[in-house]
Each structure stands twice: as C-alpha cells, then as structure tokens.
Amino acid sequence: MYEHLETTLRGRSILKSPKLNKGVAFSIEERQSLGLNGLLPPAVLTIEEQVTRSYKQFKDQPDDLSKYVYLSLLRARNEILFYRLVSEHISEMLPIVYTPTIGLAIQRYSQVYRGPHGVYLSIDDPDGIEEAFRNLRVDSDEIDLIVATDGERILGIGDWGIGGIDIAIGKLTVYIAAGGIDPSRVLPVILDVGTNRESLLDNPLYIGRRHPRVRGERYDAFIDAYVTTANRMFPNAMLHWEDFAQPNARPILERYQNKICTFNDDIQGTGAVSLAVVLSAVRASGIPLDQHRIVVFGAGSAGIGIVEQIRDAMVHNGLSKEDANRKFWCVDKFGLLIENMENLADFQRPYARTIHEIKEWDHNGSDGNISFDEVIRQVQPTILIGTSTVGGAFTEEIIRQMAAHVDRPIILPMSNPTTSSEAIPADLLTWTDGRALIATGSPFEPVTHNGVTYEIGQANNAFVFPGIGLGTIVSRAERVTDKMLEAAAEAVAGMVEISEPGSSLLPPVEQLREVSVSVATSVVQAAIIDGVARKHPSDIEQAVKQAMWQPEYRPLRGV
Ligand SMILES: NC(=O)C1=CN([C@@H]2O[C@H](COP(=O)(O)OP(=O)(O)OC[C@H]3O[C@@H](n4cnc5c(N)ncnc54)[C@H](O)[C@@H]3O)[C@@H](O)[C@H]2O)C=CC1
Ligand SMILES: CC(=O)C(=O)O
Ligand SMILES: [Mg+2]
C-alpha cells in the first residue's frame, strides 16, 4: 500500500497537473480534501476502468498520427493513466509512441503542436541553459536521466530541427514504460541549433530557431555549456545522446565518456542490441561467432557501433583485436571501405580493407570503388547488417547471392523507420527459402512461409537502453563502461529460446519490462566489477525491481 502524497494545491490546479491528476478516479475523500467537489462527474472509476475507456478512445482514432496526438494529450492530462495504458498495450502502442509513427510526428511537429513538453535550449541563448533548468524548480538530486538531441539525424529521416524533441520524449516513454524509470525524474531536451531543412525554414508555423544549423566552435561551446550545466545542476543524471548526425555523434561521446556518466544510444545501445541478436542467431546457425564473415552496409554511427561491439565480443572469446577487425567488411556510400580512400573517418579506419586483398576484385563501383554487390560476391558473408537508411537496399539479387553460400544467412535490416528498412522480412524469407535468420529495427508482423510462422524480433536499442539506464541509476554508476554494454547484450541474448523453426531472435516486445530487469541486473553487476558503481546492493535483482516505478495512483491528501 502506498503512503499518502500531500499537496497544497486545490481544485482546478490539481486537475491541471498531469502528475497529480487522476480525473474521475479521485475518491470521494480525495474530492473532499482537495476541493474537487462539483469539478468532476459524480462517478468514481478505477484506473482499470479508465484504461478500458482510454483504450477504446485510442482505437477510435482514424490513423496512427491521430493516435500519437491522442496519447500525447492524455499524457499532458494524466501521466499515470498514460503510462498505465501504454504499459498494458506495449506491443500495440510502441509503434505509435516510438518508431515508426514518432517519425511522422517529428516531421509534423509544428503543425500538430498542442503544447510544450520538455526543455527547449537554444544556441542563440547559451546563457539561458541554467535559467531553463532553474525554471523547472526541481532539486539537484531529483533528476536521474536527461535525453538530449539536436534533431539532425532523426531515425533514417534526417534533419527535423526542433521537432527532434519528440525523439527524446519517445525514448523516455520507453525508459518509463519498459524500464520502470520514474517519469518525474527525467528530462527530454532539444538542443536547438537551427535546421538546414528548407521546408521548415520556409514554414510560417515552424516553432524552432529559424536559421541554418550552427556548426564549429559555437556548436561545440553550446554542447559543452549544456553538459557542464546539466552535470553541475543534476550531478546524478545520466546524459543520453540521441540522433545526432555522424560528424557530431562520436566526437561528443568521446569528449565526455571518460568524464561523466553518459551514453550514446545510436552507437552504444545499437551495438549492444545487435550483439544480442547476433549471439542468438549464431547459436541458431551452429557456426561459432569468430568464424562468421560480417558485411555492414552503412558505416556510420550505428554501423561502426555494431562492429565495435561484436568485435569486442570476439576479442573476449580469444581473438586478437587485429584478427577480429578482419572479420568485417564495411560498405558506405562510395562502396567498400578501403585503406587508401580519401574521406575515411578515424572511427572507420580500423575496419578498412587493404588494397592488396582487393586487388583482384571487380572495381565496378563509382570512381573505381568496390560496389556492395561485388563485396557480397567476394566475401560470401554469413551475416549482413543494414544501417544505411536506404529502404530496399537488400535486393533480391544481393540476398540470393548471399544465400547461395550459407545455410542460415543472418540478415539484420536495422534502419528505421519502416520505410528506411533495407528489406522486408517476407521478401527475405521468400528469397532464402525460409533459411534466413532475421531481425529488424522497425516492427514487422510475423510471416508465414511454407507453413512455418516466423516471429520477427525487433532489433531495436529499445531492448537495452531502458535496462542500461535503470542499472546505471540503481548502481549510481559514475560512467557507462564497455563491460556494462556487453553485459546488457548478454542478458538479452540469455532470454532468447530458439527452440522451434521460426523462433524470434529476440524476446517479444510484451516482455520488455522483464528484459529490462535482467539487463539492469547485469549492468549493475558489471558496474560493480568495473569499479564505477557508487552503490553496491546486496541483492541486485531485488534492488532493481524495487527501484522500478509503477504506473499506479497514490492516495492524495490536501495540506
Ligand atoms: N535498430 C536500431 O536500434 C537502430 C537503428 N538505427 C538506424 O540506422 C540508420 C543509420 O543511423 P546512423 O548510423 O546513426 O546514421 P549515420 O548517418 O551515422 O550512418 C548512415 C551511414 O549510411 C551511409 N549511407 C547512406 N546512403 C548509403 C548508400 N546508398 N549506400 C551505403 N551507405 C550509405 C552514410 O554515408 C552513413 O555513413 C538509421 O536509419 C537509424 O534509424 C540507428 C540506431 C539504432
Ligand atoms: C532506434 C534508433 O535509435 C534510431 O533508429 O535512431
Ligand atoms: Mg536513435
């Protein structure tokens, strides 16, 4: 039984507070004590009855964007009911509050705007960062987690300026619904540095800073001001970075990861969930991890983050770093990454192939480079991963070519939203006669092929970041270490049973809360082993479960 919450607010101020409001679930005593008599219809409903009604209203919405707006308005009115509804219908609502629908909401942010949510920081007013955080009127130990984006690389749909704040809100919705993070202890932040999208700059309704993106020293100084201020004012908070474009994502992570508790979801979260999927798929394939040949299509933040995580697991299993690096062939816009290429980024260089080894290959790509299909022909990969944002890039020809050389091709089209997915599971199963082991970044329905129903696991960082956040909070970790990420991946893979033909490579979305408990428990253990934990609970799993926020009303009393 919960203790009473107390409030000095009365009447309509309570109904306007999404954290306190229970609507018609206020009891007769609460109505009396809080000055609500006459301000609500007379019936008193339970939260279960409210969920039933809200679910019907959700179903009545004409399309997915309307469903998104409906849920956003519900959250703005009654936060606990919103999280209860989403938690109880997680597999149906995740595609609405998260990818793919959230991509649509971000594109239409200024048109469907119904009110503020989160913290809006502007590069034109870096001194305003502290004031904005002060205006929240929360104490320094009351924030555990801040998700920030600058909106430049939203999913696979590019620069959407201030609308990017919805991805920070969406990630936090998943943290809360799937990871039991307390919604009153988190902040979504947009770092508004402008936008380069003409259609936004020309739109009179656009509500972000109306100028091109600021780059260079001013940008770096703004990021630094945000990190310094957030870390000083909320020293316990993990700083999560989301959907930064590649030239900024990795430098920001590298600048701060050894100084504060920080995490880049697109690099590290994606790496961890991909390792989990690969570990499950490798078990199903019967071929040990270090004997696989892996082609990654789209060698940006996510692609190289995945390579690093799988490479580290190979090193853990006994391969040298150099030998493990040789297991990967990374393809980007200009073809296979090769050592003498101009424009190779530092983070791509360790995986570039030598000129010597590709001497005899067909240089059939643009500018004499080596094309994706030539890579597939020559490498005969056993694992193919897509992080390119190019919808349909895994063509029938590519997949049939790959499947000709391997019994169980492991194929992971990771790009989001659904329109950016490199392939559709039904096609992959047709082209490989049902042999492919598949997981996708976006949600797909099960596919029936030759009488077998294939469950398609959602290889999305949503399987790991809620548990990583929860574990970091429970251990009060000073840093997010590589071991914590690997522990997260192993925890997810440990929950997968590949017993039947067509089994999913990941647990079902319905089990996200259980997955988060397991991930968080492993993350706390790893944080303790790595010496970064400030708290060492004796029963870790119990501590994790106890720390999880539940979407339940607490009795409220006026004082
Ligand atoms: N499933 C998941 O959990 C996650 C999926 N993603 C998805 O991965 C995709 C990429 O994200 P990031 O790596 O952060 O972006 P990024 O911009 O850092 O990387 C994309 C890379 O693909 C390359 N590329 C673009 N067109 C190409 C083409 N025609 N051929 C080969 N390469 C091409 C780009 O040059 C770039 O290097 C996005 O669609 C995103 O939604 C990202 C993070 C998590
Ligand atoms: C899932 C995710 O983080 C992305 O697509 O960017
Ligand atoms: Mg992302």
Assign 3-state DSSP to the chain and report helix, strand, coil percentages, each to 5.
50, 10, 40
Residues 225 and 288 in one domain: no
* Ligand 1 and 192: CB distance under 6 A: no
Residues 335 and 381 in one domain: yes
Residues 308 and 201 in one domain: no
Residue type, 186: V
Question: How far away, in angstroms, is 414 Cα from ligand 1 center?
Answer: 8
pLDDT band at residue 513, thresholds of 50, 70 and 90? very high
Residues 400 and 304 in one domain: yes
Residues 151 and 244 in one domain: yes
Output the residue whose Cα is nearest ligand 2's atom 6. 155
Residues 433 and 476 in one domain: no
Mean per-residue pLDDT, 523-541: 98
Q: Assess if residue 47 is contained within a domain.
A: no
Question: How far away, in angstroms, is 243 Cα from ligand 2 center?
Answer: 7
Domain count, the chain: 3
ipTM of the complex as predicted = 0.99
Mean per-residue pLDDT, 317-345: 96
Task: Give the number of the atom of ligand 2 that is nearest the alpha carbon of residue 460.
Answer: 1
Question: How far away, in angstroms, is 9 Cα from ligand 2 center?
Answer: 40
Name all residues whose Cβ lies below 6 A of ligand 2: 99, 155, 243, 265-266, 416, 441, 460-461
Question: How far away, in angstroms, is 98 Cα from ligand 2 center?
Answer: 9
Residues 435 and 387 in one domain: yes
The catalytic residues are 98, 171
Residue ranges making up the domain that contains 537: 465-547
* Ligand 1 and 459: CB distance under 6 A: yes
pLDDT band at residue 473, thresholds of 50, 70 and 90? very high
Q: Assess if residue 456 is contained within a domain.
A: no
Mean per-residue pLDDT, 145-158: 98
Residues 168 and 295 in one domain: no
Q: Assess if residue 28 is contained within a domain.
A: no
Comparing CA positions, the residue from 219, 253, 231 lying closest to residue 122 is 219
pLDDT of residue 2: 75
pLDDT of residue 1: 64
Task: Give the number of the atom of ligand 2 that is nearest the alpha carbon of residue 270.
Answer: 3
Q: Assess if residue 2 is contained within a domain.
A: no
Distance between CA atoms of 521 and 502, rounded to whole angstroms? 29
Q: What is the DSSP letter of 158?
A: B
Cβ atoms within 10 Å of 503's Cβ, excluding its own: 16
pLDDT band at residue 505, thresholds of 50, 70 and 90? very high
Task: Give the number of the atom of ligand 2 that is nearest the alpha carbon of residue 441.
Answer: 1
Q: Which residues are annotated as a binding site?
A: 153, 242-243, 266, 416, 460
Output the residue whose Cα is nearest ligand 2's atom 4. 155
Write down the mean pLDDT value for the chain: 97
Q: Assess if residue 333 is contained within a domain.
A: yes
pLDDT digits (tens, 9 = 90+) for 9-68: 999 999 999 999 999 999 999 999 999 999 999 999 999 999 999 999 999 999 999 999
Longest dimension (CA), the chain: 84
* Ligand 1 and 54: CB distance under 6 A: no
Percent of the chain with pLDDT over 70: 100
pLDDT digits (tens, 9 = 90+) for 454-463: 999 999 999 9
The β-bridge partners of 299 are none
pLDDT band at residue 177, thresholds of 50, 70 and 90? very high
Residues 497 and 414 in one domain: no
**Cβ proximity of 100 and 68 under 8 Å:** no
Mean per-residue pLDDT, 167-172: 98
pLDDT surpasses 90 at 365: no
Measured in degrees and rounded to the nearest 5, phi and psi for residue 386 equal -110, 120
Output the residue whose Cα is nearest ligand 1's atom 36. 300
pLDDT of residue 364: 84
Distance between CA atoms of 518 and 511, rounded to whole angstroms? 11
Structure tokens at 90: 């997680």
pLDDT digits (tens, 9 = 90+) for 223-252: 999 999 999 999 999 999 999 999 999 999
* Ligand 1 and 375: CB distance under 6 A: no
